């Protein structure tokens, strides 16, 4: 059940085996545990992972699942490696830096084997395991792991019960043994006690003290019973009073006796200075008592560990159950539903597992700085967020006012707010004539909207850059982190990524509103053009993409039908038109697999956003074949992109969507160009396919997407230029531009 | 539709320790841009095969003069109808390969137009290579002579080579030469694009790592 880690750097390969979740709750590397308590929930993945490979040269991470026992997980029984991540310009840089540091230290023999093991634990816990994405094909393996965990829990339960019985028996024996000792020997006598060993006396004193506490509680209880019965007027109470008094007096005399013993022990152990001169006599009974106590203490400690283990293993079980549920619902899961790098994960059931400072990730360190209001960075951050949000909100409300006035044909000067760039202002000053004439509803370089967005963009980018510079300085001064390694590389780009995450928590919503608002007219026009025009008139001329033109015509009809009766698509009463001519409500559709297939075979994806998660799951299953149907996956991802709360998140979604487009196009082209000499997927094909994918997006999502692609395009971090993410974004950006060009040309022809 | 705007901040390639270079492949449709990229990165030539996933964006890391250089290779659409979109692709790229087919005169004419466009529109520091592809077919169907290509490249100060994605002729060398030229250009003082900050415990500032 052990996992292997392969690290590669500059052609060297280091392999570490012996990574496991010992007893299903204790992460270990070569039997070395972490030197503090860590939440093991995320380590459930180690139960199904065979190998993790981190390549620092190619900057990618792969994982391979263990093959299932008694069955093959994929055709041929082999399990192929899967990517954890492949690009080095995102936040995962921290991982590669840590791995390179580790390899260097190991090569220079700067650290012990234990330290290497603990560093591997840290790397896996913080940077790798949380990002391993499980898919529905892992479900069986996960269920097997869950069974193993459940068996272990049952075993531990039985073990705990047995141990508890043993413990109770031992305690009972010890008590009897002690009572016997106190009966047979006179511990109230100083002369007797002074010959006992210190160890025995301390153990006895400990027990006597505890016994006194218990008896005192009992005395209080009996005394209150005496008081109650004494005040009662009933005749029966007199009899009871006698009994209660007797019990109280017995307890009292026991306490007095024990107190005498305690005092004499204290006199011997702590109050007598001449104790050294007294001859200590070893007594076998006393030694046995000490041994019994030591055994009991060890048993109690083992019991405590067993309880902690049970809590931890339950945490692992909950994590597996959650992952299984996620897989059933959405087909994929990272194992928990909060972003990584948090100190506490949603699967933590041990409470907040505190991490030592040296385990804090760069993201957490930046979070800490920004939450410490005394730092200049935090103050600048808070002020900037507040002022930018305010600026955007003000602009939007003034624009709404202007739009309203304009619709009412009331002259209204845009100069009431002038957010244009200084260069534009100068040009404006030079211009003569009525400035109102220059105001255009089109978004162009001269429009106030563009001026404002440019200003905001420049302010945000400059702010991020300045803040990152000062954060780099602050972080590099944190000795506690830098001490860990002899030198620490703090990369401006990494800081940028994490600072951005914090910043856009506040800014993404107003920025989205701003971009959706200023691009809404263009977006609406394009969406209307796309839904009412044949693919070839949108600029898609590839025959292998046009093969579903018939379907698309059906889609256009569906959209027309939807536009004419919007009520049809209200939640739960949506009516879908099938190619066989039938119409069904969504609930009827869900009940019929045959009709469902027909529905997903048809391109009425405009109603995707109205589907329930269950239906999406069915969609997932019936579109696995790829091809035109699989474009629906792209649509889902693009919709997800518009909802993502950070620029980096949006970039990741758009990259994923682009990859899906590439896969769909490849599949379609292979099918459609069997006789062709050239069926390698070119950049031309990618553009056409991306354009085609956009035509399948729901109208509302299309409009949002257009604005969000602009948003990401404007706010993409400079160091991402040229990357896979940038290329994916450019593809979508150009696909929109392609549609726009064709819209213009259609308009000019008309 | 607005053009993509350039960020004001210095572009930092410092996420990794290698120099990231965006390289665009330009040229008429069918001249073999994707094939050159595939041959260089994967050592494959896809003739009548399956459509290749991900061939429009490829990466490869090479070591040139002790400097690790990572090429982000962007294939671009070659069809004329997509011509207006090309600036989006070559914007900000420090390197470009303009490909023509040695058996197609029209592709060479198109390549000349690309050279003109890049020299006018693109980054003035851009390192450009003119590549006459399908050299393996030159003996049977050449229509553009080697001299023609070479002269045109020299005239504009470009690198030049004739390649064959099918046989692999000169493909590797072309990329290595491009990388070497870029490294030589960017390593000159004042051209540092790395933004890494490395701090030693003693507080002394070290160089880029």
Range in A349-353, A456-460, A469-473, A564-568 the model is least confident about:
A564-568
Residue B51 has pLDDT above 50, yes or no: no
Please give the Cα distance from A687 to A692 (Å, whole number).
8
Residue B161 has pLDDT above 50, yes or no: yes
Residue A589 has pLDDT above 70, yes or no: no
With bands split at pLDDT 50, 70 and 90, how would you rate the model's confidence at B193?
very low
Q: Chain A within 8 Å of B12 (Cβ-Cβ)?
A: yes
Burial A6-29 (b: 16+ CB within 10 A, else e): bbbbeeeebebeebbbeebbbbbb
Range in A230-239, A692-701, B156-165 the model is least confident about:
A230-239
Q: What letter does residue A209 receive in the DSSP assignment?
A: H
Could you give the C-alpha distances from B13 to A652, A722, B20, B114, B177, in angstroms and in order?
A: 19, 10, 6, 27, 21
- Predicted ipTM of the assembly: 0.84
* CB contact set of B169 (below 8 Å; sequence gap of 6+): B135, B136, B162, B163
Could you give the C-alpha distances from B98 to A575, A679, B40, in angstroms and in order?
A: 53, 22, 15
Residue B162 lies in a domain: yes
C-alpha distance from A330 to closest chain B C-alpha (Å)? 25
B169 is in which domain, residue-wise?
Answer: 18-186
Instruction: Please report the pLDDT score of residue A585 as a whole number.
Output: 46
Instruction: Please report the pLDDT score of residue A110 as a whole number.
Output: 76
Instruction: Please report the pLDDT score of residue A571 as a whole number.
Output: 38
Helices (H) and strands (E) in chain B — how many of each? Answer: 6, 7
HEC secondary structure over A326-365: HHHHHCEECCCCCCCCCCCCCCCCCCCCCCCHHHCCHHHH
Under 8 Å between Cβ of B166 and B173: no
Residue B144 has pLDDT above 80, yes or no: yes
Higher confidence at residue A703 or residue B188? A703
Range in A172-181, A234-243, A554-563, B70-79 the model is least confident about:
A554-563
Q: Which of residues 42-101 of B touch A (CB under 8 A)?
A: 46-57, 59, 61, 72, 74-79, 81-82, 84-85, 88-89, 92-93
C-alpha distance from B47 to closest chain A C-alpha (Å)? 7
Phi, then psi, of B46 in degrees rounded to 5: -100, 95
Range in A34-48, A88-102, A251-265, A523-537 the model is least confident about:
A88-102
Q: Which residue of A has its CA nearest to B28?
A: A684
Instruction: Please report the pLDDT score of residue A73 as a whole number.
Output: 44
With bands split at pLDDT 50, 70 and 90, how would you rate the model's confidence at A580?
very low
Instruction: Please report the pLDDT score of residue A710 as a whole number.
Output: 95
Residue B11 lies in a domain: no
Q: Of A734, A744, A746, which to mutate for an interface test with B (greatest number of B Cβ within 10 Å)?
A: A734
Express each pLDDT in A383-432 by its tens digit. Answer: 999 999 999 999 999 988 888 887 776 554 444 444 444 444 444 444 43
Mean pLDDT value across residues B175-188? 85
The bridge status of strand B67-75 relative to strand B19-27 is: parallel
Higher confidence at residue A262 or residue A612? A262
Q: What letter does residue A565 receive in the DSSP assignment?
A: -
Closest alpha carbon to A367 in A495, A462, A481: A495
Instruction: Please report the pLDDT score of residue B30 as a whole number.
Output: 87
Range in A6-20, A437-451, B11-25, B116-130 the model is least confident about:
A437-451
E strand or H helix at A734: helix A724-749
C-alpha distance from B13 to closest chain A C-alpha (Å)? 5
How many Cβ pairs closer than 8 A exist between chain A and B? Answer: 191
Residue A218 has pLDDT above 50, yes or no: yes
Instruction: Please report the pLDDT score of residue A84 as a whole number.
Output: 78
Instruction: Please report the pLDDT score of residue A678 as a whole number.
Output: 52
Higher confidence at residue A608 or residue A696? A696
∠A316-A484-A32 over CA atoms, to 5°? 40
With bands split at pLDDT 50, 70 and 90, how would you rate the model's confidence at B126?
very high
Averaged pLDDT score across all residues of chain A: 78
Domain residue limits, chain A: 3-152+309-359, 362-518, 558-619, 623-749
Residue A587 has pLDDT above 50, yes or no: no
Express each pLDDT in A142-160 by its tens digit. Answer: 999 999 999 999 999 999 9
Residue B17 has pLDDT above 70, yes or no: no
Q: Using the beta-carbon criterion (under 8 Å), do A59 and B82 form an inter-chain contact? A: no
Q: Using the beta-carbon criterion (under 8 Å), do B46 and A680 form an inter-chain contact? A: yes
Q: Chain A within 8 Å of B196 (Cβ-Cβ)?
A: yes
With bands split at pLDDT 50, 70 and 90, how would you rate the model's confidence at A675?
very low
Express each pLDDT in A300-338 by its tens digit. Answer: 999 998 888 888 899 899 889 989 998 888 788 887 655
Under 8 Å between Cβ of A416 and A398: yes
Mean pLDDT value across residues A75-90? 62
Instruction: Please report the pLDDT score of residue A236 as a whole number.
Output: 74
Range in A167-181, A539-553, B72-86, B125-139 the model is least confident about:
A539-553
Instruction: Please report the pLDDT score of residue A531 as a whole number.
Output: 86
Instruction: Please report the pLDDT score of residue A147 as a whole number.
Output: 94
Measured in residues, chain A has a length of 750
With bands split at pLDDT 50, 70 and 90, how would you rate the model's confidence at A341?
very low
Mean pLDDT value across residues B191-204? 32
Higher confidence at residue A424 or residue A222? A222
Largest interatomic CA distance in chain B: 67
Instruction: Please report the pLDDT score of residue A523 as a whole number.
Output: 93
Mean pLDDT value across residues B152-170? 94
Residue A27 has pLDDT above 50, yes or no: yes
CB neighbours (10 Å) of residue A360?
Answer: 19
Residue B88 has pLDDT above 80, yes or no: yes
Under 8 Å between Cβ of A500 and A646: yes
Could you give the C-alpha distances from B202 to A222, A470, A472, B11, B196, in angstroms and in order?
A: 70, 19, 16, 29, 18
Q: Chain A within 8 Å of B21 (Cβ-Cβ)?
A: yes
Higher confidence at residue A587 or residue A165? A165
Max mean pLDDT among A418-427, A514-523, B40-49 falls in A514-523
Q: Of A713, A721, A740, which to mutate for an interface test with B (greatest number of B Cβ within 10 Å)?
A: A721
- Global pTM reads 0.69
Q: Chain A within 8 Å of B38 (Cβ-Cβ)?
A: yes
C-alpha distance from B161 to closest chain A C-alpha (Å)? 22
Of the partner residues A673, A721, A738, the one whose CB lies closest to the CB of residue B11: A721
C-alpha distance from B145 to closest chain A C-alpha (Å)? 25
Q: Using the beta-carbon criterion (under 8 Å), do B22 and A682 form an inter-chain contact? A: no
Instruction: Please report the pLDDT score of residue A156 as a whole number.
Output: 92
With bands split at pLDDT 50, 70 and 90, how would you rate the model's confidence at B204?
very low
Mean pLDDT value across residues A703-711? 96
Residue B26 has pLDDT above 90, yes or no: yes
Q: What letter does residue B205 receive in the DSSP assignment?
A: B
Instruction: Please report the pLDDT score of residue A489 as a whole number.
Output: 62
Please give the Cα distance from A371 to B56 (Å, whole number).
43
Residue B201 lies in a domain: no
C-alpha distance from B15 to closest chain A C-alpha (Å)? 5
Q: Chain B within 8 Å of A707 (Cβ-Cβ)?
A: no
Burial A141-166 (b: 16+ CB within 10 A, else e): bbebbbeebeebbeebeeeeeebeee
Please give the Cα distance from A392 to A322 (Å, whole number).
40
Please give the Cα distance from A707 to A519 (Å, whole number).
6
C-alpha distance from A516 to closest chain B C-alpha (Å)? 14
CB neighbours (10 Å) of residue A207?
Answer: 17
Place of tokens 């409300």: A397
Under 8 Å between Cβ of B70 and B179: no
Express each pLDDT in A598-615 by its tens digit. Answer: 444 333 333 332 223 333
Closest alpha carbon to A302 in A425, A398, A162: A162
Q: Using the beta-carbon criterion (under 8 Å), do B82 and A722 form an inter-chain contact? A: no
Q: Using the beta-carbon criterion (under 8 Å), do B15 and A719 form an inter-chain contact? A: yes
Q: Of A684, A716, A717, which to mutate for an interface test with B (greatest number of B Cβ within 10 Å)?
A: A684
Q: Chain B within 8 Å of A734 (Cβ-Cβ)?
A: yes
Half-sphere CA count of B108, side-chain side, radius 13 A: 21
Tokens of B191: 């051209």
E strand or H helix at A477: helix A448-477
Range in B49-53, B140-144, B198-202 the model is least confident about:
B198-202
Q: Using the beta-carbon criterion (under 8 Å), do A461 and B9 form an inter-chain contact? A: yes
Residue A24 has pLDDT above 70, yes or no: yes
With bands split at pLDDT 50, 70 and 90, how would you rate the model's confidence at A564?
very low
Mean pLDDT value across residues A362-375? 88
Count structural domains, chain B.
1
With bands split at pLDDT 50, 70 and 90, how would you rate the model's confidence at A533?
confident
Q: What letter does residue B11 receive in the DSSP assignment?
A: P
Q: Using the beta-carbon criterion (under 8 Å), do B16 and A96 form an inter-chain contact? A: yes
Q: What is the CATH number of the domain that holds B139?
A: 3.40.50.300
């Amino acid at each position: 059940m052990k996992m292997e880690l392969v690290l590669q750097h500059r052609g060297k390969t280091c392999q570490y085996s012996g990574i496991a979740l010992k007893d299903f709750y204790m992460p270990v590397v070569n039997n070395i545990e972490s030197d503090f308590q860590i939440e093991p929930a995320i380590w459930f993945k180690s139960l199904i992972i065979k190998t993790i490979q981190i390549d620092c040269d190619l900057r990618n991470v792969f994982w391979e699942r263990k093959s299932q026992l008694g069955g093959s997980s994929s055709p041929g029984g082999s399990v192929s490696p899967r990517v954890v991540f492949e690009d080095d310009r995102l936040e995962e840089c921290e991982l590669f830096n840590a791995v390179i540091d580790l390899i260097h230290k190991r090569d220079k023999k700067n650290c012990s084997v234990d330290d290497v093991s603990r560093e591997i634990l840290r790397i896996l816990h913080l940077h790798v395991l949380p990002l391993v994405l499980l898919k529905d094909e892992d479900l069986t393996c996960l269920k097997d792991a869950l069974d193993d965990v459940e068996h272990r829990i049952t075993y531990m339960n039985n073990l705990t019960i047995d141990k508890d019985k043993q413990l109770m028996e031992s305690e009972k024996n010890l008590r009897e043994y002690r009572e016997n000792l106190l009966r047979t020997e006179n511990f109230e006598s100083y002369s007797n006690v002074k010959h006992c060993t210190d160890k025995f006396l301390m153990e006895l004193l400990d027990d006597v003290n505890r016994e006194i506490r218990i008896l005192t509680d009992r005395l209080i209880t009996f005394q209150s019973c005496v008081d109650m019965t004494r005040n009662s007027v009933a005749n029966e109470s007199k009899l009871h009073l006698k009994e209660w008094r007797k019990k109280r007096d017995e307890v009292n005399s026991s306490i007095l006796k024990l107190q005498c013993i305690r005092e004499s022990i204290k006199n011997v152990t702590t109050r007598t200075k001449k104790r050294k001169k007294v001859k200590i006599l070893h007594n076998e009974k006393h030694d046995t008592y000490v041994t019994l106590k030591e055994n009991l203490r060890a048993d109690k400690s083992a019991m405590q560990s067993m309880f902690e283990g049970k809590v931890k293993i339950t945490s692992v079980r909950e994590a597996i159950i959650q992952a299984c549920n996620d897989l059933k619902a959405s087909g994929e899961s990272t194992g928990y539903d909060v972003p990584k790098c948090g100190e506490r994960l949603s699967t933590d059931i041990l409470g907040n597992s505190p991490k030592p400072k040296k385990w804090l990730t760069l993201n957490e360190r930046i979070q800490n700085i920004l939450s410490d209001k005394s730092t200049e960075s935090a103050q600048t951050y808070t002020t900037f967020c507040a002022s930018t949000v305010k600026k955007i909100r003000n602009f939007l409300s003034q624009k709404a006012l202007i739009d309203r006035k304009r619709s009412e044909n009331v002259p209204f000067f845009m100069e009431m707010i002038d957010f244009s760039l200084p260069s534009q202002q100068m040009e404006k000053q030079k211009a003569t004539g009525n400035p109102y004439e220059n105001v255009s509803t089109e978004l162009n370089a001269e429009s106030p909207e563009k001026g404002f967005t440019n200003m905001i963009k420049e302010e945000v980018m400059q702010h991020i850059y300045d803040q990152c510079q000062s954060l780099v300085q602050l972080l590099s001064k944190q000795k506690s982190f830098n001490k860990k390694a002899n030198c620490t590389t703090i990369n401006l780009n990494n800081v940028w990524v994490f600072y951005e995450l914090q910043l856009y928590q506040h800014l993404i919503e107003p920025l989205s509103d701003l971009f959706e608002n200023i691009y809404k007219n263009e977006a609406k026009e394009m969406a209307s053009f796309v839904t009412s025009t044949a693919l070839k008139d949108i600029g898609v001329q590839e025959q292998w993409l046009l093969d579903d033109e018939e379907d698309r015509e059906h889609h256009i009809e569906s959209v027309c039908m939807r536009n004419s009766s919007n009520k049809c698509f209200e939640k739960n009463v949506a009516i879908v038109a099938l190619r066989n001519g039938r119409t069904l409500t969504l609930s009827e559709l869900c009940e019929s697999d045959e009709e469902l297939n027909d529905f997903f075979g048809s391109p009425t994806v405009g109603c995707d956003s109205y589907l329930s998660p269950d239906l999406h799951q069915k969609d997932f299953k019936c579109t696995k074949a790829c091809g035109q149907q699989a474009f629906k996956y792209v649509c889902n991802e693009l919709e997800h992109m518009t909802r993502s709360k950070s620029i980096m998140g949006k970039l990741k979604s758009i990259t994923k969507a682009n990859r899906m487009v590439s896969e769909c196009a490849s599949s379609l082209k292979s099918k459609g160009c069997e006789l062709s000499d050239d069926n390698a997927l070119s950049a031309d094909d990618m553009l056409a396919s991306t354009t085609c994918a956009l035509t399948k997006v729901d109208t509302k999502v299309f409009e949002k997407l257009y604005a969000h692609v602009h948003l990401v395009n404007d706010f993409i971090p400079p160091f991402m230029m040229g990357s896979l993410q940038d290329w994916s974004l450019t593809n979508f950006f150009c696909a929109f531009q392609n549609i726009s060009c064709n819209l213009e040309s259609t308009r000019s022809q008309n | 539709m607005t053009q993509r705007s350039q960020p004001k901040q210095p572009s930092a390639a410092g996420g990794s320790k290698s120099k990231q270079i965006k390289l665009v492949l330009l040229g008429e449709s069918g001249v073999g841009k994707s094939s050159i990229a595939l041959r260089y990165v994967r050592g494959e030539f896809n003739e009548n095969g399956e459509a290749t996933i991900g061939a429009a964006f490829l990466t490869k890391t090479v070591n040139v003069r002790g400097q690790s250089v990572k090429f982000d290779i962007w294939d671009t659409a070659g069809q004329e109808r997509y011509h207006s979109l090309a600036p989006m692709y070559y914007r900000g790229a420090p390197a470009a390969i303009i490909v023509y087919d040695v058996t197609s005169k029209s592709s060479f004419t198109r390549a000349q137009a690309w050279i003109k466009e890049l020299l006018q529109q693109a980054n003035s520091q851009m390192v450009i290579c003119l590549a006459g592809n399908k050299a393996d077919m030159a003996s049977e169907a050449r229509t553009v002579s080697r001299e023609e290509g070479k002269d045109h490249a020299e005239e504009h100060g470009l690198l030049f080579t004739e390649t064959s994605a099918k046989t692999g002729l000169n493909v590797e060398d072309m990329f290595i030469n491009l990388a070497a030229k870029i490294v030589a250009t960017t390593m000159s003082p004042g051209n540092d694009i790395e933004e890494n900050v490395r701090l030693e415990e003693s507080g002394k500032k070290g160089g880029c790592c």
